[in-house]
A = this chain, B = another copy of it.
Amino acid sequence: MPVVTEQMQYKMKGGTHIENITQPIQETLKVSGLQAGTVTVFVKHTTASIMIIEDEPGIRGDTTRLWDQLIPSNPDWLHNTHNPGEDNGHSHLRGQLQGAFVTIPFVNYTLTLGTWQQVVLIDFDTRARTRDVVLQMIGE
């Protein structure tokens, strides 16, 4: 069974809300029947990203601060001025730069993450939303 695809859903709050999804990925992998290969974790939205971080409160706070500096919320983004009711131009720009997916090798039914690496979903939008995440494992 070389390809296994699963879907997960998360209720997210927006505003750089971070949810650690490492354990659900690892648990899905354990029951996939595949022992070695890659898993691609893909979020099906343009204003959210998947990333790998050391997940501790300082880094979570710094991540919020970083995005507020690099790509601030601003009513003047064209996405907001062209589209009545939109206020999330910055959320799109953050999501497309951070990226919608990560790919991680696994061996022996286990992700090859380093000691401090955790996989997180981050939501850049301006309101609470339910987010769909695809997990796809390819291997042997």
Contacts and interface: CB of A to CB of B under 8 A. Distances in A.
Interface string A12-51: 0000000000000000000000001110101111100001
Nearest to A82: B58
Most buried by B among A42, A61, A112: A42
Q: How many copies does the complex hold?
A: 3
Nearest to A36: B3
Contact of A78 (B5, B57, B81): B57
A32 B89 CA distance: 36
Given A3-B36, A58-B83, A96-B52, A45 B117 contact: yes
Interface of A: 2-3, 5, 36-38, 40, 42-46, 51-54, 56-59, 61-63, 65-66, 70-71, 77-83, 86, 89, 92-93, 96-105, 107, 112-117, 132, 134, 136, 138-140
